Structure 1
């Protein structure tokens, strides 16, 4: 069987990472196998180890990609707002939407990966991209707080983002029941209609 060109190999690798990024967000970092990823990529699983040393190496890269995608999306949404309150709304409303709930493969990697991180050792290679990505999102949200005090902005971002993550998680867990939309609406209203919590 002829070897694939370098260009084709690079394209195949990109297809694998893209498929894994979506699947890991849908099912968690430990919820899929190499066979699942390669099938989603439209490739045979035998070629996986020509691109990655292990599933964990792919999971790390997919996690980094997921956080990068969300970071880019957040920056785009922030620029839509005329002021900090409008920029917060531009982040919060899509985050706490039915679309976000129903499309985990395109949505928040924190919600997707947090459960897995609970079972990872402190020195796990998977924790590094998770922690770095989470802190970047918290920093971006913190810049939209009205306070001039850095510690207070951080505190407000922690509270608001925790509510966002929790509400989206619960909305997914209750999908199919009216409670799901009720959770999304209540969290969205609290975060966008009331002043930022002290």
Structure 2
């Protein structure tokens, strides 16, 4: 019975982290209450503190989970293409699309969590996991292996994509938003095979 209980507790913890990874990106850390998270996973408010010492601890884990989901998506792009250049082209088409701009909950954590990580009181652990996730994204863009630091060129490219998405989201609903996406995408029409391959 004890073993089942521990397994169930781990399952609940994972569910809370998944919900937080989505809700923090969609609504922001400060606008998501513990009650909101526990309601989504159908658990009691008191159960939160059996799993996490604080909401900041959850932010660190949710940040890591969001970037792990991004890694899964990037690997899917690699599987679907013969080389990294083709995979990268498809990723950029989606990354700079209105669909990705408007999908806050499932969107790239480099963008979705950036505002929360800029707060001075954000825990160092959450910032470290964010920094590691951003570098992993840049490393993939630069076609570097996991042991090689991202090159300056790859970091610049990641910064351009993330910055463009931030600006496009902040100006959503205006003509400028679409212009930003198109300008950085280079004027190329997005590929037609985006479905199911978003940058989570």
| Band the TM-score falls in, shorter-chain normalisation | 0.7 to 0.9
Q: For residue 193 of structure 2, what is the aligned residue in structure 1?
A: none
Q: For residue 112 of structure 1, what is the aligned residue in structure 2?
A: 112
190 and 132 in structure 1: CA distance in 2 versus 1, 3 angstrom threshold:
farther
**1:185 and 2:182 matched:** yes
Q: For residue 60 of structure 1, what is the aligned residue in structure 2?
A: 60
- TM-score, length-scaled by structure 2: 0.81
Q: What is the CA distance between 1:31 and its match in structure 2? A: 3.3
Q: What is the CA distance between 1:84 and its match in structure 2? A: 4.0
Aligned residues: 183
31 and 114 in structure 1: CA distance in 2 versus 1, 3 angstrom threshold:
same
Ranked by relative contact order (alpha carbons within 8 Å, sequence separation 6 or more), the top structure is: 2
Question: What is the Cα-based RMSD across aligned positions, in Å?
Answer: 2.5
Structure 1 segments unaligned to the other structure (5+ residues): 145-149, 193-198
123 and 103 in structure 1: CA distance in 2 versus 1, 3 angstrom threshold:
closer
1: distance between equivalents of 2:125 and 2:100? 27
Q: What is the CA distance between 1:74 and its match in structure 2? A: 1.0
Q: What is the CA distance between 1:83 and its match in structure 2? A: 3.6
From the CA coordinates, give the structure whose radius of gyration is larger.
Answer: 1
Structure 2 segments unaligned to the other structure (5+ residues): 190-200
Given candidates 173, 176, 181, the residue that maps to 2:170 is: 173
2: distance between equivalents of 1:122 and 1:47? 23
- TM-score, length-scaled by structure 1: 0.81
123 and 61 in structure 1: CA distance in 2 versus 1, 3 angstrom threshold:
closer
